[in-house]
Amino acid sequence: MDKQDKIRFLAETDDDRILLARVYDKLTAGVRKGIPAFTAFLTPREQAMVQSLLDFLPVHFFGGREGAERAMCCYLPEYLSEQDLLDDEFTPICAVRASFYHEDSLSHRDVLGALMGMGIKRETVGDIYVSDSFCDFFVTREILSYILSQMESAGRTHLRLERISLSDVVVPQEMTREIKTTVSSLRLDSVLGAGFGLPRSKAVQAVEAGRVFLNDKCVYKADKLVTQGDKITLRGQGKLFLQNVGGKTRKDRLSITICRFG
């Protein structure tokens, strides 16, 4: 398939088509010129689409640290290696630490909301990690100076910002909870309700409102079946993994184990 055929095959929305066309042009231009080329931060779903689109190129995905959820797609000429992406003088990703008084509180939503309130596009901000008295997050190099000079608070919390090395970023241990329960079926609304303690009606409403993501893809059908290993995200509430699907109980219900984050 040529470029346009691949984009039509992979894209599900107009936004997808625009993104894929932009990424294709930018990365292939880097190849032609023999220079590094980088996208903005991509969600896991976007990364999967880009990986399929550029399966003929030696690209890397890098989000500032190993295991980052949001990552850039990078093309590196032969004279560069993945290790160069960790070099603070070269990398297209910069790390910022926003410190605040220990008595104050701050959430991921507070930080992201403050950044968006400054007119910053979501694609220029990577993962955000909130600890007890500071928050580390990744941004593109292009907006670093603007953030350092203009971001003074998030919500009602005053911030003191500084650039730090990528290697100094602190990732707090994520709170998890294992839930062993039973469901009538592996429908999305059933598993969602069991994981977040929601009545079936509320789970259905959340799905139909576009607040639920299955493996990083927005799903609007509450009766969609999920399988062991799937990740379900409820916007504003957290995420969960369907860790295990067991056998049926005496009441003909399915035993499942859920790992809930957040």
Instruction: In whole angstroms, give the CA distance from residue 38 to residue 48.
Output: 16
The pLDDT value given to residue 216: 80
Positive or negative torsion for Cα 163, 166, 167, 171: positive
Is pLDDT above 70 for 262?
Answer: no
**More confident position, 176 or 207:** 207
Domains of the chain, first to last: 3-83 (3.30.1370.160), 93-168 (3.30.70.330), 176-261 (3.10.290.10)
The pLDDT value given to residue 235: 84
Is pLDDT above 70 for 188?
Answer: yes
Is pLDDT above 70 for 189?
Answer: yes
The pLDDT value given to residue 176: 81
Mean pLDDT computed over every residue of the chain: 93
pLDDT tens digits along 28-78: 999 999 999 999 999 988 998 999 999 999 999 999 998 898 999 999 999
Q: What is the 3-state secondary structure (H, E, C) of the chain?
A: CCHHHHHHHHCCCHHHHHHHHHHHHHHHHHHHHCCCEECCCECHHHHHHHHHHCCCCCEEEECCCCCCCCEEEEECCCCCCHHHHHCCCCCCEEEEEEECCCCCCCCHHHHHHHHHHCCCCHHHEEEEEECCCEEEEEEEHHHHHHHHHHCCEECCEECEEEEECHHHCCCCCCCEEEEEEEECCCEHHHHHHHHHCCCHHHHHHHHHCCCEEECCEECCCCCCECCCCCEEEECCCEEEEEEEEEEECCCCCEEEEEEEEC
**More confident position, 205 or 67:** 205
Percent of the chain at pLDDT > 90 equals 81
The pLDDT value given to residue 240: 93
pLDDT tens digits along 91-134: 999 999 999 998 888 888 899 999 999 999 999 999 999 998 99
**More confident position, 155 or 162:** 162
Helix axes 188-196, 200-208, angle to 10 degrees: 110
Is pLDDT above 80 for 247?
Answer: yes
- In this prediction, residues 74-93 reach a mean pLDDT of 94
